[in-house]
Amino acid sequence: MPEKISDRTIFSLSEVTRSIQKTLSERYTRTFWVKAEMNRLNRYPQSGHCYPDLVEKLEGKIVAEIRSTIWKDDFQRINDNFLKVLHEPLKSGINILFCAKISYNPVHGLSLSIVDIDPSYSLGELEKEKQLTIEKIRQEGIFNANKSLKPELLLKRIAIISVDTSKGYSDFRAVLDGNEWGYQFFHMLFPSLLQGEHAVESILGQLDRIRKVICHFDAVAIIRGGGGDVGLTCYNHYELSRAVALFPIPVITGIGHSTNETVAEMIAYKNAITPTELADYLIQRFHNFSVPLGKAQEFIIERFSSRMREEKLRVLNAVRYFKSVTIANLAAGRSHIQHELSALAQQTDYLVKRRRHDHALILSGLQKNNQMLILRCSQHVSQTAYELKKEVISFLKAGSISLGAIEKNVDLVDPKNVLNRGYSITLVNGRVLKSAGDTVEGTILKTILADGEIISVTTTINKTDQP
């Protein structure tokens, strides 16, 4: 009962909460349907109960939020229904249409008690998000951007976005690495979450990592095992789909389902239903190259062998013809050479005799000219030697006189002779002191005289004005 204190009616907190509980229970007696986003499921495995956080968002901002409760038996029934319709369990991060009633507890406060959830509504919301993403991608004009890329002839360096424990990833590697034709592939795993509320962020992060080393890869493969439609929601996300569309090298997908193609698969360069089929696609590209190449190789070998046989026969015929022509030409050449040799011998004898007579005349003339030339040169050399001797003697005398004068001048400026004449040399730090400005008070001076050295300290500096 309320108390009366100083003309005030005072209620206890429990009285107020019980009043609220009574009012709500009398006002809201029936269940009703509500649509909201289940931000977090908050299931506790020990008890089996769930305490979902429900929110409503407007332009990305939360405009309403409330706690809710799903009791163990209700959750089991609802979850089984989700598995049957969506092939996925009830999980966080999806829009739901649920049947609930208002529940108020004096201790735990206000909440919604959920008794049922319609899985078909969640499926419809997923389709709505998918269509909205498709529309935005088409408006930006990038829907076919990745499909329009011109890939390498052979996609042999593959960056794989998957979970390292995924069966789909394991199947993909088994087919690719174990192909019976021995095609060599290089692939590197970039581990990522492939479903759930953090999947989009995780995949985008790995795409950014691949972009930094993109020169090492020919394509990106997104690989996932099987799953239901709810697990594929991240592949309808706008940001992820846009990143796939604008990625600079082909993105190929093997997400592992046969129905309800996601946006990321639609805009990828190549989409396969399963990781195994995606691996077969890569191998088939090698086939498409290697089979014609093998046929071309066989054709070239066959044509080469045929051409070699033809050329060999042609060369043999040419050798036979060349041999017969050479023998005939050699015989004719020998006869011609003998005739020419005979004529050359006669002509040579005539020329030799004529040249000998000419040489005898020339030799006689040269001997006379040489004797006269030698006489003239001998006279010229004797005259030149006499004149050169006179010039050298004169030059040496002049040089001796000049050298004596220089020697006297050097003696006069010799520091020893200068000191002997009463002069001295003053040094500061081993260098000659030339100006009063080169020293300060306290500087140690070294004065060199003819008969010794004096060490002194500067006490006063008197400078004279320069003329």
Encode pLDDT of 393-416 as tens digits.
888 888 888 887 787 777 776 777
Tell me: pLDDT of 243 over 90.
yes
- Phi/psi for 113 (5° steps) reads -95, 110
Instruction: Give Dmax over CA atoms of the chain in angstroms.
Output: 171
Residue-level pLDDT at 227? 54
Cα angle: 391, vertex 392, 395; to 5 degrees: 85
Closest CA to 114 of 97, 95, 92: 97
Alpha carbon separation from 157 to 96, 189, 204 (Å, rounded) = 42, 11, 20
Contacts of 438 (CB under 8 A, 6+ apart): 428
Binning pLDDT at 50, 70 and 90, where does residue 258 land? low
> What is the model's pTM?
0.50
Closest CA to 195 of 116, 255, 281, 153: 255
Closest CA to 156 of 133, 117, 179, 186: 186
Walk me through the domains of the chain, giving residue ranges and CATH numbers: 3-121 (2.40.50.140), 140-288 (3.40.50.280), 418-457 (no CATH)
Measured CA to CA, the distance from residue 33 to residue 279 in angstroms comes to: 47
Lowest-pLDDT range of 161-175, 331-345, 358-372: 358-372
Give the count of beta carbons closer than 10 Å to the beta carbon of residue 21. Answer: 15
Binning pLDDT at 50, 70 and 90, where does residue 229 land? very low
Binning pLDDT at 50, 70 and 90, where does residue 188 land? very high
Tell me: pLDDT of 390 over 90.
no
Measured CA to CA, the distance from residue 72 to residue 78 in angstroms comes to: 10
Mean local confidence (pLDDT), 186-199: 89
Tell me: pLDDT of 352 over 90.
no
pLDDT tens by residue, 313-346: 889 888 888 888 888 888 888 888 888 888 888 8
Tokens of residue 381, six digits: 């050399």
Residue-level pLDDT at 461? 81
Cα angle: 395, vertex 397, 403; to 5 degrees: 100
HEC profile of the chain:
CCEEECCEEECCHHHHHHHHHHHHHHHCCCCEEEEEEEEECCECCCCCCECCEEEEEECCEEEEEEEEEECHHHHHHHHHHHHHHHCCCCCCCEEEEEEEEEEEECCCEEEEEEEEEEHHHHHHHHHHHHHHHHHHHHHCCCCCCCCCCCCCCCCCEEEEEECCCCHHHHHHHHHHHCCCCCCCCEEEEEECCCCCCCHHHHHHHHHHHHHHCHHHCCEEEEECCCCCCHHHHHHHCHHHHHHHHCCCCCEEEECCCCCCCCHHHHHCCEEECCHHHHHHHHHHHHHHHHHHHHHHHHHHHHHHHHHHHHHHHHHHHHHHHHHHHHHHHHHHHHHHHHHHHHHHHHHHHHHHHHHHHHHHHHHHHHHHHHHHHHHHHHHHHHHHHHHHHHHHHHHHHHHHHHHHHHHHHHHHHCHHHHHHCCCCEEEECCEECCCHHHCCCCCEEEEEECCEEEEEECCCCCCCCCC
**Mean pLDDT for the chain?**
86
Residue-level pLDDT at 161? 96
